[in-house]
Amino acid sequence: MDTLRADAVSAYGDVEGTTPTFDTLAASGHLYTRAYAPSPWTVPSHASLVTGMSIDAHGVGVNGRVVLPQQAETLAERLGAAGYETAAFSENALISAAFGFDQGFEHFSVRTAEEQMAAEQKLVIDVVDELAHWLQSRDSERPFFVFINLYDAHEPYEIRSENPFLPAGTTTADARRIRAGGRTSHLICDRLPAKGHLEILQGLYLGEVASADRKLKAIHALLDDQSVSNLITVVTSDHGEHFGEYRLLDHEFSVRDEVLRIPLLVHHPDMEPATLAQPVELRDVARALLGWAGADFAGITTPGLEGIQEGAAQAPASLFALYSDTRMQLPQAFDAASAQQVRDFKRQGCSEADRVFGDMVAVTRYPFRLNWYENYPSEFFDLSRETGEPLGREARRPQLVATLEREAQQFANRVGLGGKDAAEPLSPESEAALRSLGYID
């Protein structure tokens, strides 16, 4: 469920009624309360999700790289080799062959950037309908692996005929009056809307989350009707979303908790229900699925999700996430001045205090996190506190801060943050997809 922050899921207790399907699955499965993405945007997070590789290993999202390398072995490739029939259905044009995500899939259905622009709407393919058709034609003698990306929660947020999550006293007409429902990713820093406007946007977003959850219900019903006794369902996200925190909207220019903490559940009919607090990474999903399927997971170093017990909360090791400010390499037709203008357009109203320029690394050793910045002093957080604000020097743990600072710097050096490594130019198809989604203006 693309762009779904954990606290927008009602199973986590911060809102009511947004995700009844997710909640039902979680109540009889495993709900992970501290799952983290390796990046605040789609392509690098999905690269880790489908390969089990860390972001520094696959390199997607670093210094302009946006295409999954062919040598990165995917879940679909490994499961296909184990005899599984593989299919993908994506509402997100970034999760497509243009970015290398078709590797290993026998069937891949995706809305393209061209289709989106021609239709002048966010969603084009009917994932539920296409899945139903594929299930009718699949080989019933083979086990199957299905990957689905639901794009509802990504901006722009639709103004629906009924919007039950709008603030009390706010109507659909009010949302239209402030021109909600359009692009929001440039409304940051000095352009940030007023509090009431932000609350309307967040209400529309929660309506989109509910829409994705309704699709989840239909999808799970179709898959559960395949006369299989051991259907494993994993529901998660690739990143979250800002709604005014730190003067930000959308999910760019940040490694804060709002964009890194994601929902995660695993459901199996024979599972004992559990709520699991031990921090896990998005890439743990691939290792777990391969283990459960009896497929090869050689070379995947993460421990997966097995063996986690209720009550455990300490991270077994430092978890890393990054935002690379040279997020994509523009085609050669763009000169340096044009590329800089595109990259900085959204940040024209930002100052040094907003910390939105330069590379960023988050190191989480729960309950603590250090956010390292290329251009600013680091921030230190206690994630167990409800305020979400960085700790002042008087509340810090100097030795731990120094350790995490060193780990962040070593990670940044190892990955090559700062634009030291050149990346391949985008293909015209990749550029069109990024432009249609607002990543290139």
Short-list 316, 307, 305, CA closest to 283: 305
The overall average pLDDT reported for the chain is 88
* Assigned architecture for domain 6-58+69-293: 3-Layer(aba) Sandwich (3.40)
Give the whole-angstrom CA distance, residue 375 versus residue 121.
38
* pLDDT tens-digit series, residues 361-416: 999 999 999 999 999 999 999 998 877 788 877 677 889 999 999 999 999 999 98
Residues of the chain with pLDDT > 70, as a percent, come to 86
Domain ranges for the chain = 6-58+69-293, 319-436
Q: Which of 79, 45, 33 is nearest to 312 (CA)?
A: 33
Other residues' Cβ atoms within 10 Å of the Cβ of residue 152: 23
CA distance 374 to 436: 29
The predicted model scores a pTM of: 0.90
45 closest CA partner among 280, 281, 277? 281
| Residues 109-119, mean pLDDT to the nearest whole number | 68
186 alpha-carbon distance from chain centroid: 19
Question: 246-274 pLDDT, tens per residue?
Answer: 999 999 999 999 999 999 999 998 889 99
